Amino acid sequence: MQNPPPLTDDDLMRLQALLDALPAPLQPMDVSALDGYLCGVLLQPRAVPATRWLPHTTDLDGQAAPPGPAHDELLALVQRRHAELDTAIGARQWFDPWIYQLEGDASPGECVLPWSAGFAAAMELFPEMMALDKPELVEPLALLFMHFDPADLEDADALIAVIETLEPPADMAEAVQDAVRALMLIADVTRPRATPLPRRRPGIRPPKRRPR
C-alpha cells in the first residue's frame, strides 16, 4: 500500500485550526509539540498501538474528543504525519520537524522547546525507551532535553552532566539539525536497521512562522 502524501502547508494550518477548535476542558498540543510527541512515540523500542497514542493528540490526558467530521479529519491528518515520520525515521532520511521561529527575540533553544516538550510528553506516557540501559542514548537525549530548565529533569544526573558540556545552538538551522540528528541516533538504538544506510542531509530550509 502506498504511503499517504506528506502534509502540505495548508494541511498544517488546517490541523492547527482543528486543534485550536477542540472544546474545553480538552488540552491539545499545538502542532510543534504534537510533532515532537509523534517522534517520541515512533522511537519506542516496540511499536505503540494507535489506540494508545492517538487519544493524547487531542488531549494530553487522553480524554475523548467529541466525535464528528472535524474529529475524523483531525485524526486523519495526525496519522498522515505519523506515517510520514515513520518512513523518514525508518529509512534514516532527513525530514523537516515542525519547529518554528517564534515572534520577538526568542532564542533558538526557546523555539525548539515546544517541540521538545511534546517529545518529553511521549517519554512520560510511554517510558519504555527511557528505561533502556543504553549509554548510546545519553548524548542524543541531551541534545533534545538541553533546552529545559535542569530543575525540570528529575533523576537525570548523567543526562545533565552531558547537557552541561553542550553549547547552545547558534541559530535555528543548527537547532533543527541537532534535533533531527538526535532522533536518528536514538533510532539506531531503538529501531536498528539490518543494513545501516547513509543518512541524507539536504540543505536545511529556513524555519517558517508558526501556523495560525
Q: Give per-residue pLDDT as tens, 173-196.
A: 999 999 999 999 999 999 998 765
> Of 119, 113, 98, 97, whose CA–CA distance to 44 is shortest?
119
Phi, psi of 129 (to 5 degrees): -65, -40
Asked whether the predicted pLDDT for residue 199 surpasses 80, the reply is no
> Of 41, 43, 49, 15, whose CA–CA distance to 29 is shortest?
15
Q: What is the pLDDT, as a whole number, of residue 203?
A: 39
- pLDDT band at 118; cut points 50, 70, 90: very high
| pLDDT (mean) for 162-170 | 91
pTM of the entire structure? 0.90
> Of 39, 144, 34, whose CA–CA distance to 86 is shortest?
39
Residue corresponding to grid cell 533558538 = 108
Domains, the chain? 9-190 (1.20.120.740)
Share of the chain above pLDDT 70, in %: 90
Q: What is the pLDDT, as a whole number, of residue 207?
A: 43
- The answer to whether residues 176 and 36 touch, using CB atoms and an 8 Å cutoff, is no
Alpha-carbon torsion 15, 86, 130, 108, what sign? negative
Average pLDDT, rounded, for the chain:
89
- The answer to whether residues 57 and 22 touch, using CB atoms and an 8 Å cutoff, is no
Q: Give per-residue pLDDT as tens, 72-95.
A: 999 999 999 999 999 999 999 999
- The answer to whether residues 33 and 98 touch, using CB atoms and an 8 Å cutoff, is no
Residue corresponding to grid cell 506516557 = 125
Asked whether the predicted pLDDT for residue 200 surpasses 90, the reply is no
Asked whether the predicted pLDDT for residue 159 surpasses 90, the reply is no
